[in-house]
Structure 1
Amino acid sequence: MRSLRAKFLALLCGLTPMLGCKSKEDPPPPPPADLLQVPSPDWRDQIIYFVMTDRFANGDPGNDDQGAGEYNPQDEARYSGGDLQGLLSQLDYIQGLGATTVWLTPPVANQWWDPLVNYGGYHGYWARNFTQMDAHLGTLEDYQRLSRALHGRGMYLVQDIVLNHMANCFRYVAYEPDHVDRHVVLNTGAKPACGPSQAPFDQWDPTNAAHRQAGIFHWTPAIVDYQNPEQEMNWQLADLDDLNTSHPAVMTALKDSYSFWLREAGVDGFRVDTVFYVSPDLFKDFLFSKDPAHPGVLEVARSLGKDRFLAFGEGFASDKPFEDTLSRKVASYMDDPVTGEALLPGMLQFPLYRTAGDVFARGNPTSELAHRLMNSREVFSRPHLMPTFLDNHDVDRFRAGGSEAALRQALVFMMTVPGIPVLYYGTEQGFTGRRSAMFKAGFESGGRDRFDTSSPLYAFIRELTALRKAHAVFRRGVPTVLRQNEVRGGVFAYKMEEGGEAALVLFNTSDEETLLDNLDTGLPEGQSLTLLASLGAGAGDVSVGSRGRLSMKLPARGVRVFRPSGEVTPVPPESARITLSNTSGGTVSQDFELSGTAVGVSSLKVVVDGALGSASEVTVGQDGSWRTLVSVASMVDPNVQHSLVAWSEGAQVLSETLTFRVSRTFVPLVTHEDPANDDTGPEGRYHYPSDVSWGSNHQGDFRRVTLLGSGNVLKLAFQMPRITTEWNPQNGFDHVAFTVFIDVPGRTGLTVMPQQNRSVPAGMDWDYRIRAHGWSNALFETRDASATNEGSPVSPAAALEVDAASGTVFFTLPGALFAGRSDLSGVKVYATTWDYDGGYRPLVPGTEQWKFGGGEGATDPLVLDDTPVLTIP
């Protein structure tokens, strides 16, 4: 049987022509006469820069305001003024970063303002006409100039497209499937007009009998159950009018519409929005149809000389740790799971996105990322064609909940593993706002242009893109994980291999110094390793030790990227030795004694789970024996395997590794019974948004709050009347955000509650703050915190669990937050609820679909329900 790696490489090149594998001897093609149409690149070698055009650069202020009340750069919901001419003017900036491709949001004619939701279509996903340019962005000639300019630089253009829906032109306030003309609200106040202008999509009105008969749209309400396949495929996503893609006229129009942009604008790839809401079979027609009158997109691309046209889908789904059900759903849009037929060449790597964020930003065990990286080899046939990313326009920015040090590590990871790296605009400037503008007149710009090529992150990313371009092993190689930490953030090591070339990538994802011990590199002992890139002090070339093992200290948030030089030098004989009395600790329930012997050292450190900062110093006796007590106070998960090693830094010698597990139980320390239905704000005058997804579920109503402890580990249990998952949240709950303040005795904290217009109750200040909702889970300390600033992110974040049956959300805070304490006595907790969507959900005096009502958001507390200050005895 062929090895996994051999099968993987066969899939990459021999069985997958859409990947475009070429021999290294093939000469580059001559430049075309007209730069509008150029041959496809090898997409494995590309680096994508993703821009939301309206928020990137304003080159023509004359097209900003179309007179429909849709333009206001101070309002996140309205157009800010970015356009294609502005994008064209900043190509030096983008190319200087190392990007080779620009991906832009849909440029098509859009619904500018939707009064039913009080939001605008500046983003481009609410189309009125798939074959016309939106007037805010420019003309077709502007788009052609951009395309030619990119191609003239050896760069490429990816356009965002939508197949599932168009603008919101009607909605249902009630639904009778047999009478779809009833209970309809027509969006007559929409700007610039109500309804698509393009045939056949202009047959959009369910109250019109001829339109209903035409069947171009599904006459359905908004999805309320994302687990229901019928709703997922045929109901409206957030009230956006759902196209009947099984209708031949619809598919013909979609193929013709997007072929138009291939022919007229020379686009080189498509990002396909919301693919989970159309059938995978759709892509057999949309991409591969050989109908001479209405060919598939890939057929049109080939006729234009683009033999490797890239189409990648957006399937917003990510698995919980060590699961892959949703990953396989993503994969089903790349290859038919029954017939094996190729569908979309690639899909956005949402599973890897979530796990990378959990590990780098939130401090989860690195074993989660090890599983996800290796699982991608198993599940996806073309991982090298799956765009990888750290954030985008639909999710919180990485820096909204992760430190800059964590971001730098995540960027190194993205640039050294399979996939097409995607940089979301503004990442290189440290943006925290999801859709902030890069130009000074735009939304949340701070009144200045942000195209700073001297910024530290811009320079860092430029170095990483150069690294990826210089070494094919990162662009085309196959990963093998060498080391992971099952317990916490810490060591994560993998080897990339391709065509006889290899590289080692080593991380310490912890905020403290970590020991990498006894790493089996698979390289010959004495092999010299050349440093290619690093984060953290003390980096340099190293050599592999005896038995092909590598051991070293890695600084907090450190990274080392090595390449074997080919030079081998003899390894000197060991002058010291450390042994353990046993090699397995089994399962323990309390602190245990460890002992051993040592030769050639007078003292050593016992390092548990790689954490050097908490390693205990042990003196070696004159007879060479030593013993110490290993504390397990902060270890509570019986499902993870801990490890320890005895180590002498001076002698550079380690023992073998001992593994053990800890079985402990949590004990209730404080229980608070909270009144029912008091989720109405501090004065009882707030009410939920009017959208039916809130209903009468009282998602923000505490019913019981329990604080539990085990050693110095704190678990919070919030029992609510109901857990909802209306919007398919990755954390297992939605329509509520928890903000929790922790006061550690003996420390000086803050009283202000960032971004909530309030201070914590008298008698406490906070040292740590949890902010979590369906798509984020962040922990902050007080450094840099203020009334407007959340503070500085800390990892690891609280572990999050949901028990939907009992309506309980759990947060477990690591014992490291309470270092120096053997228990939790005196710790104070104060918890609040609200909701969060790129920021705390707005509060307005009246009633709106997506905003809380009954108060003034600029001054009134953003608190639905809260607890008293709970003090652990």
Structure 2
Amino acid sequence: MRISSTLCRLAGGAFAVSFLFESALAASIEQWKTRTVYQTMTDRFARTDGSITAPCNASAGLYCGGTWQGTIDKLDYIQDMGFDAVMISPIIENVAGRVSYGEAYHGYWPLDLYSLNSHFGSKQDLLDLSKEIHDRGMYLMMDTVINNMAYMTNYSNPATSIDYSVFTPFNNEDYFHPYCIITNWNNFTDAQLCQTGDNQTALPDLYTEHADVQDLLLNWTRDTMSEYSIDGLRIDAAKSVTPAFLRRYSDEIGAFMTGEVMQQEASIICDYQTNYMGSLPNYPIYYSMLAAFTQGNVSVLVDQVQTMKTSCPDVNALVSFSENHDVERFASFTDDISLAKNAVTWTLLFDGVPFIYQGQEQHFKGSGTPLNRAALWTSGYDNSSALVPVITTLNKIRKHAYRMDSSYVDTASYNIYEGSSEIAFTKGVEGRQVIMLLSNQGTSSTPYTLTLPATYNAGTNVTEVLSCKTYMVNEWDATLVVDMDSGLPRVFFPTALMSGSGICGYSAANLSYTQVKTGVTTSLGTKAQQLTGQAALGAFFLALMTLVF
């Protein structure tokens, strides 16, 4: 009886530990809201040899030599800008060979889910990357393909020339939808049942309505996230995945995931968030941002913000971005550096989980795929580039605002000013809010003053964090008179709460609101003293095992 009882305790304890460990590996939407994400394209981010002169012709679409080890070696570059999460390309083995527009350097042509892309490195390299990211207290996001596999037909008829036996684990035609071509991308049934490829690289569409396909994808995802300690997922081509499976996939994986649905209609994005998955890239705001800062129409952005707030369950769970690997670089619309600074300010301070795509900080150009996928090493990882210090400061003030008020990332931004070429938004609780004032006038704009109504309480001193200039809110009418010049953005925060921000000469320390208000500025602990999520998790399980066994 004693042996039986002990075995039961062992089995029960092992099950509890296994369940809790699997659940705790990934991070929730609420945890990801506090993060800012640097999106890499593994093949184009950094090489193992550290070269900054290795050639990479983006238009050719070929592998250029970026690796997981190269990413490890450049994590300082990412972290020094204030990012605390890194997204990497799909990790699985892709189809080999070449077509007229290139190779599978991007990772979106899957062949074998259970093998790694050897171009990026070994299993140990990926484990090392994950460990290094987590040792720094950062999160790791994996780009993921669950809609299709890939097969190079090289102009043969995809309906008859695909050898399904080469795929792992989907090695039978029964795992796929019958071949058909998408004729109308606005027809969601077409997009979900037909193939997204062409007659050079077919992308056989997985039969994701079928329970066997769903189970295989779910099991692979769980295994992969567990093995490599993945904290979150980006779901490529989510629009083409059966919606009911998206719901099941999101619910059962239980981690933060954001699914690509490239639609500018708020109604579609909000419907997906309501019914299928908790996060998507905020394309309606993206297109409105372009209208504001490249077409001179700020009203479109103001109106779209209101539409999203009233239509979506949680705009703060969506992804805020102004560039990614699927759209034109901002600098391809306009080379104006002031407009680019306004765009990144909007991206990092508006509602949602902010993503900055590699090369955006270097003001790369690139008019769509594949030109928007140039190798970052050609920039020399220049940390003095015009946008790098702006991004660094914005990351600092976002984190500091969250430390001053833990509800900051769940608070909706709202418009407090709209002019012919300027808009201002406030985010956060009264007295601890961040206010951003943006302009689309560009670098040719001459100096002038602008009066903002209803900002902070009368007499409040505020710091403009990008120029480090201090202003005082008018004691009579609570207006804030701001110096504008060269079309540059302005970002304000109460001066009395700047301690610990690491901005404008203030110390960098992990201080709470109470500590800043009372003047007791003892740090909550240095990075070395604090347990990372992984270490804390290990300590928890050790204690649990002690209790159980």
| Alpha-carbon distance, 1:195 to partner | 6.2
1: distance between equivalents of 2:496 and 2:388?
33
2: distance between equivalents of 1:171 and 1:185?
13
Corresponding letter in the other structure for 1:197: F
User: Which runs of 5 or more residues in structure 1 are unaligned?
Assistant: 1-31, 62-70, 175-182, 189-193, 204-210, 289-295, 299-308, 319-325, 337-342, 440-444, 568-873
Corresponding letter in the other structure for 1:478: A
2: distance between equivalents of 1:74 and 1:377?
38
Asked if the contact 2:36–2:353 (Cα under 8 Å) also holds between the matched residues in 1, the reply is yes
Q: Are 1:480 and 2:414 matched, yes or no? A: yes
Give the match for residue 555 of structure 1: 485
Asked if the contact 1:217–1:241 (Cα under 8 Å) also holds between the matched residues in 2, the reply is yes
2: distance between equivalents of 1:33 and 1:344?
23
2: distance between equivalents of 1:195 and 1:125?
19
**SS, match of residue 541 in structure 1:** strand
Deviations 1:328-358 (A, max 9, x none): 211222222xxxxxx4221111111111122
2: distance between equivalents of 1:162 and 1:396?
22
| Alpha-carbon distance, 1:566 to partner | 7.8
| Alpha-carbon distance, 1:502 to partner | 2.2
Give the match for residue 341 of structure 2: 408
Equivalent residue for 2:291, pick from 327, 333, 358: 358
Q: Are 1:276 and 2:239 matched, yes or no? A: yes
Question: Cα 1:562–1:234, aligned 2, differ >3 Å: closer, same or farther?
Answer: same
| Alpha-carbon distance, 1:90 to partner | 0.9
Asked if the contact 1:374–1:479 (Cα under 8 Å) also holds between the matched residues in 2, the reply is no
- The structure showing larger relative contact order (alpha-carbon pairs under 8 Å, at least 6 residues apart) is 2
Deviations 1:369-426 (A, max 9, x none): 1112222221222222212111111111111222211111111122222111111111
Asked if the contact 2:341–2:489 (Cα under 8 Å) also holds between the matched residues in 1, the reply is no
Asked if the contact 2:47–2:69 (Cα under 8 Å) also holds between the matched residues in 1, the reply is yes
Corresponding letter in the other structure for 1:457: L
Deviations 1:540-599 (A, max 9, x none): 4132364333444522313222234689xxxxxxxxxxxxxxxxxxxxxxxxxxxxxxxx
Asked if the contact 2:43–2:105 (Cα under 8 Å) also holds between the matched residues in 1, the reply is yes
Question: Cα 1:195–1:352, aligned 2, differ >3 Å: closer, same or farther?
Answer: farther
The within-5 A match list for 1:29-48 is 37=25, 42-48=31-37
| Alpha-carbon distance, 1:60 to partner | 6.3
1: distance between equivalents of 2:330 and 2:466?
21
Give the match for residue 250 of structure 2: 287
Asked if the contact 1:417–1:475 (Cα under 8 Å) also holds between the matched residues in 2, the reply is no
Corresponding letter in the other structure for 1:311: M
Tell which structure's C-alpha radius of gyration is larger: 1
Q: Are 1:425 and 2:358 matched, yes or no? A: yes
Q: Are 1:495 and 2:426 matched, yes or no? A: yes
Asked if the contact 1:517–1:551 (Cα under 8 Å) also holds between the matched residues in 2, the reply is yes
2: distance between equivalents of 1:532 and 1:140?
46
Equivalent residue for 2:211, pick from 248, 252, 267: 248
Give the match for residue 152 of structure 1: 135
1: distance between equivalents of 2:385 and 2:491?
23
Equivalent residue for 1:459, pick from 374, 389, 397: 389
2: distance between equivalents of 1:149 and 1:352?
34
Corresponding letter in the other structure for 2:41: M
**SS, match of residue 123 in structure 1:** coil
Give the match for residue 196 of structure 2: 237
1: distance between equivalents of 2:326 and 2:166?
24
Deviations 1:127-170 (A, max 9, x none): 00122101101122211111111111101100011121111355
2: distance between equivalents of 1:196 and 1:113?
14
Asked if the contact 2:320–2:350 (Cα under 8 Å) also holds between the matched residues in 1, the reply is no
Give the match for residue 198 of structure 1: 168
Q: Are 1:186 and 2:169 matched, yes or no? A: no
Deviations 1:106-142 (A, max 9, x none): 0110013343x54211100110012210110112221
Corresponding letter in the other structure for 2:324: N
| Alpha-carbon distance, 1:185 to partner | 5.1
Q: Are 1:96 and 2:96 matched, yes or no? A: no
Asked if the contact 1:508–1:556 (Cα under 8 Å) also holds between the matched residues in 2, the reply is no
The within-5 A match list for 1:775-786 is none
2: distance between equivalents of 1:221 and 1:38?
36
| Identity score, percent | 24
1: distance between equivalents of 2:302 and 2:441?
15
Paired positions, count: 456
Q: TM-score, normalized by length of structure 2?
A: 0.76
| Alpha-carbon distance, 1:43 to partner | 1.4
Corresponding letter in the other structure for 2:253: V
Corresponding letter in the other structure for 1:55: R
Question: Cα 1:107–1:202, aligned 2, differ >3 Å: closer, same or farther?
Answer: same
Asked if the contact 1:280–1:332 (Cα under 8 Å) also holds between the matched residues in 2, the reply is no
Corresponding letter in the other structure for 1:357: L
Give the match for residue 520 of structure 2: none
Asked if the contact 1:416–1:475 (Cα under 8 Å) also holds between the matched residues in 2, the reply is no
Corresponding letter in the other structure for 2:72: L
Q: Are 1:391 and 2:323 matched, yes or no? A: yes
The within-5 A match list for 1:640-651 is none
Corresponding letter in the other structure for 1:258: T
Deviations 1:4-24 (A, max 9, x none): xxxxxxxxxxxxxxxxxxxxx
Corresponding letter in the other structure for 2:413: P
The within-5 A match list for 1:733-812 is none
Q: Are 1:297 and 2:228 matched, yes or no? A: no
Asked if the contact 2:237–2:260 (Cα under 8 Å) also holds between the matched residues in 1, the reply is yes
Give the match for residue 259 of structure 2: 313
1: distance between equivalents of 2:45 and 2:448?
43
Deviations 1:40-63 (A, max 9, x none): 6721210101011001111169xx
2: distance between equivalents of 1:196 and 1:404?
48
Give the match for residue 105 of structure 1: 89
Asked if the contact 2:455–2:480 (Cα under 8 Å) also holds between the matched residues in 1, the reply is no
Structure number having the greater strand percentage = 1
Asked if the contact 1:100–1:156 (Cα under 8 Å) also holds between the matched residues in 2, the reply is yes
Structure number having the greater helix percentage = 2
Asked if the contact 2:38–2:356 (Cα under 8 Å) also holds between the matched residues in 1, the reply is yes
Asked if the contact 1:245–1:278 (Cα under 8 Å) also holds between the matched residues in 2, the reply is yes
Q: Are 1:334 and 2:290 matched, yes or no? A: no
Question: Cα 1:388–1:451, aligned 2, differ >3 Å: closer, same or farther?
Answer: same
Question: Cα 1:505–1:409, aligned 2, differ >3 Å: closer, same or farther?
Answer: same
Runs of 4+ in 1 over 6 A off after TM superposition: 171-174
2: distance between equivalents of 1:551 and 1:152?
45
Q: Are 1:506 and 2:448 matched, yes or no? A: no
| Alpha-carbon distance, 1:173 to partner | 7.8
Question: Cα 1:184–1:45, aligned 2, differ >3 Å: closer, same or farther?
Answer: closer
Equivalent residue for 1:379, pick from 283, 307, 311: 311
User: Which runs of 5 or more residues in structure 2 are unaligned?
Assistant: 1-19, 367-371, 498-549
| Alpha-carbon distance, 1:481 to partner | 0.5
Q: Are 1:435 and 2:373 matched, yes or no? A: yes
Deviations 1:643-682 (A, max 9, x none): xxxxxxxxxxxxxxxxxxxxxxxxxxxxxxxxxxxxxxxx
**SS, match of residue 209 in structure 2:** coil
**SS, match of residue 347 in structure 1:** coil
Question: Cα 1:334–1:75, aligned 2, differ >3 Å: closer, same or farther?
Answer: closer
**SS, match of residue 413 in structure 2:** strand
Asked if the contact 1:270–1:311 (Cα under 8 Å) also holds between the matched residues in 2, the reply is yes
Corresponding letter in the other structure for 2:345: V
| Alpha-carbon distance, 1:500 to partner | 5.4
Q: Are 1:220 and 2:179 matched, yes or no? A: yes
Deviations 1:293-335 (A, max 9, x none): xxx222xxxxxxxxxx2111111111xxxxxxx2221122222
Question: Cα 1:33–1:118, aligned 2, differ >3 Å: closer, same or farther?
Answer: closer
1: distance between equivalents of 2:448 and 2:424?
12
